[in-house]
Amino acid sequence: MDFLISFVLALVALLILLQLTVLLLWVERKGSALIQDRVGANRANLFGGLLPFNLGIVNTLMADPLKLFHKEDIIPKDADAFLHWLAPFIAVLPLFVTFAVVPFGDVLVLGERVINLQAADVNVGLLFVLGMVSLGVYGVVIGGWASNSRYAFLGGVRGSAQMVSYEIGMGLALVAVVLTYGSLDLQEIARAQGQLMWGVIPAWGVFYQPLALVLFFIAGIAESKRPPFDLPEAESELVAGFYTEYSGSKQSMFMMSDFIEVAIVAALVTTLFFGGWQVPYLYRDGFHLPGGFFFGVPSLVVTILQVGAFLTKLFIFCWLQILVRWTYPRMRYDQLMNLGWKRLLPIGLANVVVTAVLVLALEGFTVP
């Protein structure tokens, strides 16, 4: 029974990630059209358009991935065939497991059993996510090198420098959050955010660490190599950067790794800064509003509300990243490096020092 529960939880975590990835593909196509005042993807329609209404979403969800996986796969002459084949897998596989440590709800009470809604209860969950994301860079570098093309090679080199640089800013932003909540376990951090500041404001990371949120969000977008930080691809300079020589299902695996990284950044922003699955004032037995009001809610409804809140926040931050992607122009390479090393790094360090001093000086600053 325990094994079955773990299996189902792992499946749910993986399915949230994969479904979100496919959905983001559609949201990006339609969303970019909305922003650019176009109609966007509307060609694929179920039953040849015989239905009175357009089932565009269903079709784009099915037709796009099917199309991508049926395209011809070309391996360039003189490419290192084995590494060329391996690179997309290195880019995408470590990212699949990241959602295992992200909590998507508090607990599910089934009779006697209290199930923790998190696939893997790792006490260093945050580091696990960072570690797996940092392995993804090998896909970019190896893919760029193995293609035996100048453009791909330049993209790969740019990718490695960019991702190593921004990992530092990202890590420093998260250190301040970890100091505030005193844990590396994402479920513990999410639970700590259920408390209240001065009895009214939820103790979410955004109120304790607003600077860390801004730093993390910028570094996160840079880490996922999307505009305005898409220097490794830079289609106006490098054709398509590190995946110039990729086609068919391998190219779509690189694309998928992009969307998974968007989902991971959104999940971390949600969990660390916006309370994860927390609904303000909702606890295991019901709503405790400030001023002593209480509404009892059945435990199953509480769980459903929490999972719903988590998914809603996740969608909002995915959409925010797509909005950023279609709004800002690409940076120059020196601007990118300056932002990473001369802005994010010193501000992040200062934030860590100030947070550490406050944590030591004020008893009430940490959320126990």
160 touching other proteins, by CB under 8 A:
yes
**Residues paired with residue 63 on neighbouring β-strands, in sequence order:** none
Distance separating alpha carbons of residues 179 and 183, to the nearest angstrom: 8
Distance separating alpha carbons of residues 9 and 2, to the nearest angstrom: 11
Question: Is the link from the previous residue into 368 a cis peptide, with omega within 30 of 0?
Answer: no
Task: Single out the segment in contact with other proteins by CB under 8 A; choices: 117-125, 251-259, 285-293, 359-367.
Answer: 117-125
10 touching other proteins, by CB under 8 A:
no
* Least gap, CB of 7 to other proteins (angstroms): 19
Check: CB of residue 170 under 8 Å from CB of residue 130.
yes
Instruction: Give 54 or 123: the residue with its C-beta nearer to other proteins.
Output: 123
Please count the residues of this chain forming the interface with other proteins, following the rule CB under 8 A: 26
* Least gap, CB of 126 to other proteins (angstroms): 9
Q: Which of 164, 301, 316, 350 binds other proteins (CB under 8 A)?
A: 164
Check: CB of residue 169 under 8 Å from CB of residue 215.
yes
**Residues paired with residue 114 on neighbouring β-strands, in sequence order:** 109
Coil, strand or helix: which one is 282? strand
Q: Which of 99, 104, 128, 166 binds other proteins (CB under 8 A)?
A: 128
Q: Which of 92, 117, 137, 222 binds other proteins (CB under 8 A)?
A: 137
45-to-19, 29, 37, 56, 59 alpha-carbon distances in Å: 20, 16, 21, 6, 6
Distance separating alpha carbons of residues 44 and 23, to the nearest angstrom: 15
* Least gap, CB of 211 to other proteins (angstroms): 23
244 touching other proteins, by CB under 8 A:
no
Task: Single out the segment in contact with other proteins by CB under 8 A; choices: 16-24, 51-59, 155-163, 253-261.
Answer: 155-163
97 touching other proteins, by CB under 8 A:
no
Residue with structure tokens 């086609």? 247
Task: Single out the segment in contact with other proteins by CB under 8 A; choices: 136-144, 266-274, 281-289, 293-301.
Answer: 136-144
**Residues paired with residue 289 on neighbouring β-strands, in sequence order:** 293
**Residues paired with residue 287 on neighbouring β-strands, in sequence order:** 282, 295
Q: What angle do CA 42, 45, 47 make, to 5 degrees?
A: 165
Instruction: Give 51 or 164: the residue with its C-beta nearer to other proteins.
Output: 164
323 touching other proteins, by CB under 8 A:
no
Residues 28-67 that bind other proteins (CB under 8 A): none
Task: Single out the segment in contact with other proteins by CB under 8 A; choices: 60-68, 110-118, 129-137, 352-360.
Answer: 129-137
C-beta neighbour count of 348 within 10 angstroms: 24
* Least gap, CB of 101 to other proteins (angstroms): 11
Distance separating alpha carbons of residues 368 and 366, to the nearest angstrom: 6
127 touching other proteins, by CB under 8 A:
yes
Name the site residues for other proteins (rule: CB under 8 A): 80, 83, 122-124, 127-128, 130-132, 134-135, 137-138, 141-142, 145, 153, 156-157, 160-161, 163-164, 167, 184
